[in-house]
Amino acid sequence: MSAVADLIADMVRAGVDPDLIGRTAAALSEREPVKIVDEQAARRRAKDRDRKRLRNSAESADSAEDLNLSSPKGSSPTPPSPKPLQSIPPSPPKGGSSPTPKSELEAVLDADRADAVIQHRQKIRKPLTAHAAKLLAGKFRRCPDANAAADAMIANGWQGFEIEWMENRSASRHQPQAPPNKPKSEFMQHQDDVQRVLDEATGRSRNDEFTGSTFDLGPRDYRAG
C-alpha cells in the first residue's frame, strides 16, 4: 500500500471529517511527482560527454594539421578536384554488324568467287541484296563444290543457280552420239555416178523412189567379166 493510502486510512481511524479526507486525497493526487535523480548515472553521462568532446576536438586538430602540411604556407587548402568521368564508348548495334552480299556469299565461297558473283549480277543489271545473296549461297552449298557452281553460273550467264541445271548439262555431255556415216565403197560410188548420168540423160529426178535392190560388192568386182 502506498504512503497516501496509509495516510487516508489513518485519518479515517482518527475520525477526521470525510469531506476533509476527500479534499486531502484530491490535493495529493494533483501534486507533481518528485523526480528521483540518480546522481551516479548523471555523473557517468557527464563523463561520457566530456570524453566525446575531447575526441572530436582531437580529430579536428589532426585534420587541420594534415591540411596545413599538404598546402603551401599562407594559402588556403584546396579541395581535391573531382575525378573526371570516363567516356563510355557507344554500344554496337543489336545483333552485330549488318550482313552484306559479300559476307553472305563468303559463307560458302572464297573471296574471289564472291566478288565475281557480285560483279556478274551487276553486269546483268540484277544486283544482289544481302537477302538474295543468302538464298543464292544456300543453293551453292548444295553442290559438292560451291566454287565450281559459282563458276558455272557466271560462265553460262545465269541470273540464279539450281543444282539441277548443272546435272542436266552434265548428263547432256555424256549422252552417246550417233556413229559417223560409213564411207561408201568404190563400187557404191561408181553406181552413184552411173545413176547420176542416167538420170541426166532421161530427165529423171534423184528424188524418185527406187524400188529395186542394190548390192555393195567388194572393190573392183564391177569390172569383172
Residue 160 lies in a domain: yes
- Nearest Cα neighbor of 106 from 142, 143, 145, 147 is 147
Position 18 in a domain: yes
Last residue of a domain, one of 122, 150, 171: 171
Q: With CA atoms as reference, report the closest residue to 31 among 53, 69, 2.
A: 2
Which of 156, 171, 186 finishes a domain?
Answer: 171
Tally the domains of the chain. Answer: 2
Question: What is the rounded average pLDDT for all residues in the chain?
Answer: 75
Range 4-20 average pLDDT:
81
Tens of pLDDT, residues 137-192 = 999 999 999 999 999 999 999 999 998 888 877 666 655 555 556 666 777 777 78
The position carrying cell 580529430 is: 59
Containing structural domain, residue 111:
101-171
Mean pLDDT confidence for 113-117:
95
Residue 224, pLDDT score? 46
pTM of the model: 0.37
| pLDDT confidence bin for 225, thresholds 50/70/90 | very low
Last residue of a domain, one of 171, 196, 211: 171
**pLDDT on residue 200:** 79
User: For residue 82, what is the DSSP state?
Assistant: P
pLDDT, greater one: 91 or 130 = 130
Residue 198 counted as domain residue? no
Q: How many residues does this entry show for the chain?
A: 225
